[in-house]
Copies of this chain bind each other. A is one copy, B any other.
Amino acid sequence: MITLKELADKVNGKLIGDGSIAISTVDDLKSASNKSITFAFLPKFKKEISSSSAAAFIVTSDEDLKENAGIVVENPYLAMITILDLFDNRPVPVFNISKHSELHESVEKPHNLHIGAFSVIEQDVVLGENVFIGNGVKINAGCVIGDNSVIYDNVVLYDNTILGKNCIINAGTVIGSDGFGYHTVGNEHHKIPHIKTVIIGNDVEIGAACTIDRGSVQDTTIGDFCKFDNQVHIAHNVSIGKACLFAGGVFIGGSTKIKDFVTIAGKSDIGPHITLGEKSVIAARSCVLKSLPGSEMYAGNPARPIKEKQKRDAIYTRFELLEKRLKKDAS
């Protein structure tokens, strides 16, 4: 429990109303009780303040509150992060090596190491400090895991995968499987060996049930600060720059280069062997089939600059107008 006054101090916000109100949880506007603080800074939520049972509200302007108590902040998302952290009751991991895990004798134990039950750390793996490995994780021979990285349950890292510091890999993700590469002669598909690996930078988060393939002739690389949602797929030999954001179901084709600060919305695909320029923003469900210079938003299949796409989408309306006009002319 914490008072509204204390909370206002923690988020560097301006207290409105009774500072002694006791807050014990965070909720959304609808499920909030008189012990909850809630976030009402998005325009569409402001009108719900008066009907919510929340004890207090995070807003961006004094006027939003009227008769309700709350905190006015400049940056509501930073306040949100601070407040959610404060009320986080999720279990805190304790560093412990499960007696039901298998840690190869060649692996040196760093300062602070958690290995969950039924996890395997194979030969010559290198583990940084404060590494947290959940249950059922399989880390194959020769992998490297940087300091403070967290790998959740049932993740698989194939041999020689390299993962930086402060990374989070969510459950069920597979990193380092062979890419989809065959040389077809007649009706026979001969497998191309994948002798390179996957190299992931620092501060990367990868969602659940993602797949990242290793390279054949060059490593598949993912830059620092990238964040991927669930069910993302990165093919072999791909290189991804820094701080890219890929939403759920994004697929990147083989040997493609994604430059820094690229954002790709849900279920979009980037074809193989192309280059997507810095600061590209790709709308949801787009399909990029040729290299694009970046620094603007693209949409559609094939993806085009968003304005061009919107102009094309208007063809139906323009066609109907033309039909009508011609009908009138004819009559």
By a beta-carbon cutoff of 8 Å, the part of chain A in contact with chain B is 26-28, 30-31, 38-39, 77-78, 80-81, 84-85, 87-91, 98, 100, 102, 116-118, 120, 123, 134-136, 138, 140-142, 152-154, 156, 158-160, 168, 170-174, 177-178, 180, 182-185, 187-195, 205, 207-211, 213, 216-218, 225, 227, 229-231, 233, 235, 237, 242-243, 245, 247-249, 251, 253, 260-261, 266-267, 269, 271, 284-285, 287, 289, 301, 312, 315-316, 318-319, 322-323, 326
**Which among B118, B168, B191 is the interface contact of A136 at CB below 8 angstroms?**
B118
Query: Could you say which residues of chain B place their CB within 8 Å of the CB of A27?
Result: 217-218
Instruction: Report yes or no: A216 in contact with B316, Cβ–Cβ below 8 A.
Output: no
Complex contacts, A78 vs chain B, CB 8 Å? 183, 185, 190
Please measure, in the bound complex, the distance between the C-alpha atom of A164 and the C-alpha atom of B277, giving whole angstroms: 44
Query: Could you tell me the distance between the alpha carbons of A187 and B31 in the complex, rounded to whole angstroms?
Result: 27
Which B residues are CB-close (under 8 A) to A178? Answer: 168, 170
Closest 7 pairs between A and B when the two form their complex, measured CB to CB = A77-B183, A180-B229, A84-B193, A28-B218, A174-B208, A138-B153, A211-B230
Chain B residues with CB under 8 Å of A141's CB are 91
Smallest beta-carbon distance A315→chain B, Å: 6
Chain B residues whose CB sits within 8 angstroms of the CB of A213 once the complex forms? 208, 230
**Contact (Cβ within 8 A) B180 A153:** no
* A139 → B minimal CB distance (Å): 9
- Are the C-beta atoms of B218 and A31 separated by less than 8 Å? yes
**Chain B's nearest CB lies how many Å from the CB of A259?**
12
Are B269 and A251 interface neighbours, CB within 8 A?
no
Q: How far is the CB of A312 from chain B (nearest CB, A)?
A: 5
Q: Is the CB of B154 within 8 A of A138?
A: yes
> What is the bound-complex CA distance between A253 and B184, given in angstroms?
26
